[in-house]
Structure 1
Amino acid sequence: MINNVLKMDIYQPFAHYREPKIMQDDFIPTLHLPTATTIAGLISYLVDRQAKSVFKIGIVGTYKNKEIHFIRGEFESYWTKMRTFQRKMIEKQVPYSEYAIFFKDKQAGNRVMNFEVLQDVNLSIFIYTENATEYKMIKEALESPTKYLSIGRKEDFFVPQNKGCFVREVPVEEVEIKSKKQAIMKNLCIKNTYIPVSLNSNDEEMENRLRSGVLYALPKSYKDLTAEKKDRQIVYGHYVYLDNNGYYPSRGKVQVYTDYETKETTSFLWL
């Protein structure tokens, strides 16, 4: 089966993809790639939360290296104490300008937070939905974005890898794999991406996936994309990150994109 899907080829000079379950700490690691919900959130933001259908997302990407950056900030307990103190001042009708500096001088203990940052990030993002109306709406929003574009932090902006549009429509073939030999013969190596796994399966394919990379519990989808960001409820799934060494599947459906100019193929799984 061949479907036309949207493909974004983007570049980020720097990027930090925080794990949602990692709390603010003195050291904050980054994921190798953004999660499916990060991309879904970007799309929802661009179309003003009008996308209601279930759409599929695939992410393949590389980066040059990791760096350690740092910022100075307050301890997490500062904000809890600040909100409590602020409520008291509001009750007493004390202006914010009169107590803000006093409280900060009295309570704030500055600390240095170190966090990992990826450098020279190149991402290929595949997007598909069977809803023709929403597919067109997403395509038009990506072709002529009217909002600030970033993936990760606000400062992690992105630009097209090549001059021109952020997105183009490409054919992606869904190939049924029945043996590892078939995958090798067709050069269907999955790499630089996440693949979904099941922890409660005795299936040989799943066991091989679990041994092929680093296991993560990552956001899979939102229960309601139309909800405000602060109200969105995340559905988690288990994934294995595959580096450039790659993995040849022995069974299952694989999505394959072929660049007919370079004759290179990209294999991935929907997240």
Structure 2
Amino acid sequence: MINNVLKMDIYQPFAHYREPKIMEDDFIPTLHLPTATTVAGLISYLVDRHATSVFRIGIVGTYKNKDIHFMRGEYGSYWNKMTAFHKKMIKEKIPYSEYAVFFKDKEVGNRIMNFEVLQDVNLTIFIHTEDTEEYKIIKQALESPTKYLSLGRKEDFFVPQKKGCLVQEVSVEEVEVKSKKQAIMQDLSIKNTYIPVSLNSNDEEMENRLRSGVLYALPKTYKDLTAEKKDRQMVYAHYVYIDNNGYYPSSGKVQVYRDEEAKEATTFLWL
């Protein structure tokens, strides 16, 4: 049994979780769930300090459907070209109001960026750290947040699923699975979450995981937790996204949270 686990149940009307390795293009897809580093970034933002301890983060979530939103803007070369053109117009003493619109319409044009966006997102996030002092700081920051709450883009705000209850302290049971039959008998179905995988393993469990969902290379943590934001280097790991069809593991340890009030259990793996 792992005690001192923080559980957040949150709701987002809209959310876009961008894959870090995807460069900006005219169409930007979204991940099904935020990454562990996205949640860690939220924590650092709320406590207003660098987190120096190693976190365990688990994420389970659903959404109603996907939509496409668009944003109007300029191409990446716009501002460099505009600056050069602006200097030329100043020398010729031509007012800005007479050439700004002309330059954008005739020389560069508008750019339309399409974002894939999730609608009606419900997330359950589990957070654990062995550092007692840092755990208390995080718990207090989540119990009484003083900053704007968002996950994904800045506009992707979130609110508690239950009014007035953003975070709970819960216990999570660690169960060792020795066979798929055991997982089925104990109803240890993993769904709507990421599960870590190894691409270099001949283990049957890993092979089954790879066949059970969509493979992603996602940021797991930062190489140096104390580095400034501009100097942070992400450490990537491979994960498979498991949808609502679920997956029964055949071996390994899984985490189980049992909601006694709702009479249901949530099975997940630490990311």
TM-score by length of 1: 0.91
Alignment of 1:227-242 (within 5 A): 227-242=227-242
Q: Residues 81 and 180 (structure 1 numbering): CA distance in 2 closer, same or farther, change over 3 Å?
A: farther
In the alignment, which residue of structure 2 is the partner of 1:40? 40
Task: Show the counterpart of 1:174.
Answer: 174
Map 1:1-271 to 2 at 5 A: 1-79=1-79, 81=81, 85=84, 101=100, 104=104, 107-271=107-271
Structure 2 CA distance, aligned partners of 1:196 and 1:85?
Answer: 49
Aligned CA distance change for structure 1 residues 25 and 133 (closer, same or farther; 3 Å): same
CA 1:40–1:79: 2 relative to 1, 3 Å: farther
Q: Which deviates further from its counterpart, 99-108 or 30-39?
A: 99-108
**1:12/1:120 contact within 8 Å kept:** yes
Q: What is the alpha-carbon distance in structure 2 between the residues aligned to residue 66 and residue 170 of structure 1?
A: 32
Q: Cα offset for 1:33?
A: 0.3
The SS at the match of 2:154 is coil
Q: 1:232 to 1:120 in 2, by over 3 A?
A: same
Q: Is the partner of 1:76 in helix, strand or coil?
A: coil
Percent identity over the alignment is: 81
Where 1:44 maps in the other structure, the secondary structure is helix
Cα distance in 2 for partners of 1:9, 1:165 equals 8
CA distance, structure 2, for counterparts of residue 104 and residue 196 of structure 1? 47
Alpha-carbon separation, structure 2, partners of 1:147 and 1:226: 22
Aligned-residue offset at 1:79: 4.4
Of residues 51-60 and 72-81 in structure 1, the stretch that sits farther from structure 2 once superposed is 72-81
Contact 1:218 1:238 in 2 (8 A): yes
Distance 1:52 1:106, change over 3 A: farther
Quick check: 229-238 or 175-184, which moved more?
A: 229-238
Q: Distance in 2 between matches of 1:148 and 1:98?
A: 37
2: distance between equivalents of 1:28 and 1:16? Answer: 9
The answer on whether the counterparts of 1:44 and 1:225 sit within 8 Å (CA) in structure 2 is: no
The runs of 5 or more residues in structure 2 that have no matched partner are none
The number of equivalent residue pairs is 264
The 2-side partners of 1:153 and 1:107 are apart by 31
Question: What does the per-residue CA deviation read over 1:66-114, in whole Å, with 9 as the maximum and x for residues that have no partner?
Answer: 01111111112324546x749x96xx9xxxx969948656753212111
**Conservation of the 8 A alpha-carbon contact between 1:24 and 1:76:** no
Tell me the TM-score normalised to structure 2 length. 0.91
Q: Give distance in 2, aligned partners of 1:48 and 1:226.
A: 13
> Conserved in 2, the CA contact under 8 Å of 1:44 and 1:226?
no
Alignment deviations for residues 118-177 of structure 1 (CA, whole Å, 9 cap, x no partner) = 000000000000000000000001111111110011100000000113111001001111
State the one-letter code of the partner of 1:121.
V
1: CA distance, partners of 2:214 / 2:237 = 14
> Structure 1 residue 270: deviation in Å?
0.3
- Using the TM superposition, name which of 104-113 and 8-17 deviates more: 104-113
Deviation at 1:202, TM superposition (A): 0.5
For the Cα contact (< 8 Å) 1:215–1:240, is it kept in 2? yes
- Amino acid of the structure 2 residue aligned with 1:259: D
Calculate the aligned-residue CA RMSD, in Å.
Answer: 2.2
For 1:113, the aligned partner's letter is M
Deviations 1:193-247 (A, max 9, x none): 0000011110100000000000001111112334333332111110000000010
Which ranges in structure 1 are unaligned for 5 or more consecutive residues?
none
